Amino acid sequence: MRRISLIISNLLLFVAIANAQVSIEKILGEVERNNTTLVALRQKMEAEKIGSRTGLYPQNPSFEYSYQWGNPADIGSKTDISLIQSFDFPTAYLYRSKIAKAEIELLATEYLRQSKQLLLDVRLVCIELVYQNALSSVLGKRVSNAKLIADAYSKKLDVGEASALENNKARLTLLNATQELFSVKLKQNELLAKLASLNGGIPLELSDSVFNMPAIPASFDEWYAATEQSNPDLKAIEREIAVAQRNIQLSRALCLPQIKAGYASEKVAGEHFQGIAAGISIPLWENSKRVKYAKARAQYLRSVEADRRVEIFSRQQAQYNTALELQKNIAEYRNSMGTINSSRMLDEALQKGEISLVDYLLEESLYYSSAETLLQMERDFCRVVAELYQYQ
C-alpha cells in the first residue's frame, strides 16, 4: 500500500508540474498578445520601417521663374525659366537601399530582444507567484495545526491540565502564523495585480503551487555554442555593424560628384533661348571626414561586440554553474527532509507528553523553516534557469 501511495503521489506531482508549465506558458502567450508595451513596440517598428525607406530617392526637382523688366522701357523685358534635377552618384542610391534593409532587420531584432526581456519579467513574476502560492499552502497547514494546538491548550487550561503561560504561547504561535499567512496573501494579490498590468489590464490567474523544475544542459560549452547565434543581444550588435559597414560605402559614394540636369529657357528683346542645362558639384568641404567618421564608428561597434560576447558568455556561464549547485543542493535537501518527517513525529511526541509545548513549538518552527528554505531554493533555481534560457 505504501508503494502504491508513493506511485500515486508521484503521478499527482507530475500532473501538477505539467499543469504549472502549461499555465505559465499560457500566461506568456496572453501577455505577448495584450501587453501595451509590446503593442507600442510593434507600432513603433512599423513606423520605423516606413521611416527607413525615406531618403532613398533623388532630391526634389527645383523650378525657377524670373521676370525682369528693362530700364529704359524700350529695351524690353527678360524672362528666365529653369527646371533642374539633382542626382547623387548612382551607387549612393544602391547603398541607401541596402542600409534601409539592414535597419529593418535591426528593428526586428531589437523588437525580439525587448519582447524576450519583457516575457522574462513575466516569467519571473509567475515563478514568484508559484513560490508565494506554495508558501501559502505551507503556512495554511501551519495555521491549521497552530489552531488545533491553541484550542487543545485552551481546553486543558479550563480543566487545569495546562498553565496560562502555555496557553498564551499556543495563542501567540497561532497569531504569528496567521499574520505570516496574511502577509503572503497580500504578496499574492500584489503579484496578480502586476500580472494584470503586464497583460494590458486584463486579470490573470495562476494558482499553481508546485514548481516545474526544468532540466539544464549536460555541457555548458556545447549548449552555448549551439545557442549563441540566436541571442538577440548579439544579433542586434551584428546588425548595427552591418549598418555601419554600409554607411562606410555610402559615405564614399557621397564623396563623389553630384550631377545636375534639366531644362533652361530665356526670353529677351524678342529673342528666345532654350535648351538643356547640366552641372556637377565638386565635393570639397561638405563631406569632409564623413568616411573617416563612418570607419571609426564601425570599429567602435566591433569593439562593443567583442566586449558584449565576453560579458554574455561570462554571465551565462555563472548562471549555469549556479543552476548546477542549486540543483544538487535541492536534491540533497529534499532527500533529507523526506527521511526526517519530523512534523508527524512531533505531533505524536506532544500527544504522548514526551516533549513540552516549548520544545514542540521550537521543533515545529525549525521544520516549517526548512520547508520554506526548500521552496526558496526551488524558486531561485527556476529564476536562474529562466534567465539562462531567456532567449530560447
Tens-place pLDDT, residues 134-153: 999 988 888 887 888 788 77
Mean pLDDT of 297-322: 92
Q: Inform me whether the pLDDT recorded for 18 exceeds 70.
A: no
pLDDT class of 318 with cuts at 50, 70, 90: very high
Tens-place pLDDT, residues 209-260: 888 888 888 899 999 988 888 888 888 898 999 999 998 988 888 888 888 9
Torsion of CA 144, 146, 152, 157, to 10 degrees: -150
pLDDT at residue 160, as a whole number: 79
* Of the candidates 238, 244, 226, 186, the residue with the CA atom closest to the CA atom of residue 316: 226
- Tell me how far apart the alpha carbons of residues 163 and 170 are, in angstroms, rounded to a whole number: 11
What is the arrangement of strands in the sheet containing 271-281, beginning at the earlier edge strand?
62-69, 77-87, 258-268, 271-281
Of the listed ranges 9-13, 203-207, 254-258, 260-264, the least confidently predicted one is 9-13
Q: How many CB atoms lie within 10 A of CB 7?
A: 10
- Tell me how far apart the alpha carbons of residues 347 and 145 are, in angstroms, rounded to a whole number: 9
Mean pLDDT of 149-163: 78
Residue 320 cell numbers, joined: 549555469
* Of the candidates 392, 104, 112, the residue with the CA atom closest to the CA atom of residue 233: 112
pLDDT at residue 13, as a whole number: 38
Q: What are the respective helix, strand and coil percentages of the chain, to the nearest 5?
A: 70, 10, 15
* Of the candidates 41, 78, 96, 86, the residue with the CA atom closest to the CA atom of residue 243: 96
pLDDT at residue 321, as a whole number: 94
Tens-place pLDDT, residues 91-109: 888 888 888 888 888 888 8
List the domains of the chain with CATH numbers: 2-57+90-256+302-388 (1.20.1600.10)
- Tell me how far apart the alpha carbons of residues 156 and 351 are, in angstroms, rounded to a whole number: 12
Mean pLDDT of 53-79: 83
Helix H or strand E segment including 210: none
* Of the candidates 345, 365, 347, 343, the residue with the CA atom closest to the CA atom of residue 172: 365
- Tell me how far apart the alpha carbons of residues 270 and 251 are, in angstroms, rounded to a whole number: 48
pLDDT class of 360 with cuts at 50, 70, 90: low
